[in-house]
Structure 1
Amino acid sequence: MGEVKIRNLDDEIIHKLDQKARQHKMSRNKYLISLLRNFTILEEKQEIEEKYAGLVNLMVDVVERNTETMEEMKSEILEIGERMWQSGYDS
């Protein structure tokens, strides 16, 4: 595994990183590795979320169209049933 060295880092930043690492019960090194790993996959994660949102929107459209079609079919079936009842009733 490789190493990364960061020079001229402000002491306040180091202190905050140490606090965050302790909150997560991690060493500073493990915490920084975790941050960098998350940062490197952030773009991929956003792309996946965008694709998922698009898929959800597509599914909502399909369900809405299916609901409209079913309502139309229901109306037609009720109309046919009423015509059949009237023609049988009149006979």
Structure 2
Amino acid sequence: MFKLSLALTSLACATAASAALAGDLCETTSARKHIDDAKASAHAAGYTNIVRMGEYQGCFEAIGRYNDGSVFEVYIHPTTLEIVKVKRTT
């Protein structure tokens, strides 16, 4: 009986921990803005060569290229339209 209780407790803890790690980058309960507004926000911040817009982990995602050819990924909060993360790859 003790082994079963220990196993169930371990499983519950592991499940709770994985759920916490899988949280969205841009969690929100408010109304989301339109994706075109997010693109305009990225343009205003200087990310003008956008080739694709989408959604990732609850954020709007703008993907494009810098003038030197490297790729940027800009993550924009869907309600505040603030840039929350920028990733650059060469």
TM-score tier after normalising by the smaller chain length: 0.3 to 0.5
Structure (1/2) with the larger helix percentage: 1
State the TM-score, normalizing by the size of structure 2: 0.32
Structure holding more strand per residue: 2
- If the length of structure 1 is used for normalisation, what is the TM-score? 0.32
* Higher Rg: 1
Greater relative contact order: 1 or 2 (C-alpha under 8 angstroms, separation 6 or more)? Answer: 2
